[in-house]
Amino acid sequence: MKVSRRIVLHFPKQLVDQPIIYALVNDYNLVFNILKASVTPGEEGLLVFELTGKKSDYEAGIDYLKSLGVKIEPLSRSVKRNDLKCTHCGVCVTVCPTGALSVDRKTMIVQFDSAKCTACELCVKACPPRAMEVHF
């Protein structure tokens, strides 16, 4: 069985210079899609990503991360669109860094692909009718 989860990793600073993600790919056959990363040598690192693979591989990979001292949390904040409020102006589209918000150029309807959203929340305040909402 295949699983795919979005998780937040906090790395202690001594791990920042180690090729942990490489190991997840190479040793555990996992596929990753980085949504957000903040990794600076000598500081605690943060990585938000989507991890996909066979359930057994996924669990083994998570155990490996835990054994290294990486703190793991599910991605608990998410941005949702209140469809009753959205006026489909599209002003959010150039504010969104990941392409989660886009315009269908034929209908000129604004589309929100939550799979591409990293919950950076830039759209939340940039939306004039405040249709983009943060959920916990």
Partner 1 sequence: MAKSYAEINAKIKKGAAVVVTAEEIIDIVEQEGTRKAAEQIDVVTTGTFGPMCSSGVLLNIGHSTPKINIHQAWLNDIPVSASLAAVDLYLGATALPEHDPLNTHYPGEFLYGGGHVIEDLVGGKDIQLKAIGYGTDCYPRKRLETWINIKDLNETTLLNPRNAYQNYNVAVNLSAKTIHTYMGVLKSNLGNAIYCSAGQLSPLFNDPFYRTIGVGSRIFLGGGVGYVCWHGTQHDPNVPRGENGVVKAGAGTLAVIGDLKQMSPEWLVGVSMLGYGASLTVGLGIPIPILNEQIVRFTAVRDEEIWAPIVDYSDAYPNNRSKILGEADYKSLRQGNITIRGEKVPTSSLSSYSKAREIAKTLKKWIKKGEFLLGAPSQLVPSVESEIRFKPLKYRPLQ
Distance CA 40, CA 65 (A): 19
Minimum distance from residue 121 beta carbon to partner 1 (Å): 12
Minimum distance from residue 93 beta carbon to partner 1 (Å): 5
Which residues are within 8 A (CB) of 25 and not within 5 positions of it... i.e. 6 or more apart?
31, 32
Q: Which is nearer to partner 1, 1 or 84 (CB)?
A: 84
Distance CA 122, CA 132 (A): 10
3-state secondary structure of 96: coil
Q: Which is nearer to partner 1, 24 or 79 (CB)?
A: 79
Minimum distance from residue 120 beta carbon to partner 1 (Å): 13
Q: Which is nearer to partner 1, 51 or 132 (CB)?
A: 132
- Where does this chain bind partner 1 (CB under 8 A)? 87-95, 103, 105, 107-109, 125-126, 128-130
8 Å CB contact between 123 and 92? yes
